[in-house]
A = this chain, B = another copy of it.
Amino acid sequence: MQNDCKNCPFNSKAASMLSDCSFDQLSENHLVLKFKKGDSIIKQGMYSTNVVFLRTGLAKIHLAGPYHEQIVKLVKAPTYLGLPTTFGDKINQYSVTAVSEVEVCFIDVEVFQTILNENHAFSHEIVLELCRNELESFHRCANRTQKLLRGNMADALLEFSDKIFMSDTFTLPLSQVELANLVDTSRESVSRILTEFDKDGIIQLKGKEIQITNKKSLQLVSQNG
């Protein structure tokens, strides 16, 4: 647990907007922590008075569904986490767990809110991010419920490739159980679909290593369900 994060902007854009005053204030009032894969960063149901800024790494946002854990989405640094908690009743409404090595800043709500009030550009940034999240949520939900399994798996793979790793080759950041909870299926179906994609020549599987060999096809699968 260090407290030496003078050079830890919340994100490059936001930092450049902070007045010297508020930036100092911020730097003096948060901690930087490292987590390793699998560590819990935010725990649903726990009391908390911190906003979390994910500096580096990957994390999953997940919550208890009626029958099993639901992974809402994979998030990549830089991003804020736990805003709903801190503005609400200070009880975490979802969990966040590290999916890779991760660096995180915990910022006290009070401080965060002060800066939000002091700095229009910053608060505008935040409102913007929240709006984007809402939209993304709408579309994600519509897609997941309307598409068939193949379509949803294709979407997940495309997101990994295009949004998370920026590469056609990557190692799956989630286990099959997790993938199932992300894509709303059973673990068995994940396995089957993945080998199916492999046989179809769309991807090439070597353990958890994936290479998308035919992105066009994958995009087609995404559209046809």
Contacts and interface: CB of A to CB of B under 8 A. Distances in A.
A66 interface: yes
B225 A67 contact: yes
Contact of A141 (B87, B137, B147): B137
A138 B63 contact: yes
Contacts of A151: 66
Nearest to A118: B120
A33 to B, nearest CB: 23
Nearest to A185: B145
Interface string A138-151: 11111111110001
A88 interface: yes
Given A93-B135, A135-B84, A225-B67, A140 B142 contact: no
Interface residues of A, number: 44
Q: Which of A123, A126, A225 has most chain B Cβ within 10 Å?
A: A123
B132 A134 contact: no
Interface in A48-71: 61, 63, 65-68, 70
Contact of A146 (B66, B94, B130): B66
Interface string A94-136: 1000000000000000000100110010011011101111110
B66 A147 contact: yes
A117 B117 CA distance: 8
Nearest to A120: B117
A223 interface: yes
A168 interface: no
Given A84-B134, A137-B141, A66 B225 contact: yes
10 residue pairs, one from A and one from B, having the closest CB atoms? A130-B130, A70-B142, A84-B131, A65-B142, A137-B137, A145-B184, A141-B141, A65-B146, A117-B120, A84-B135
24 contacts: A63-B142, A65-B145, A66-B142, A66-B147, A66-B151, A66-B225, A67-B225, A68-B146, A70-B141, A70-B142, A72-B138, A72-B141, A72-B142, A88-B131, A93-B138, A94-B138, A116-B123, A116-B124, A117-B120, A117-B123, A123-B123, A127-B127, A134-B134, A137-B141
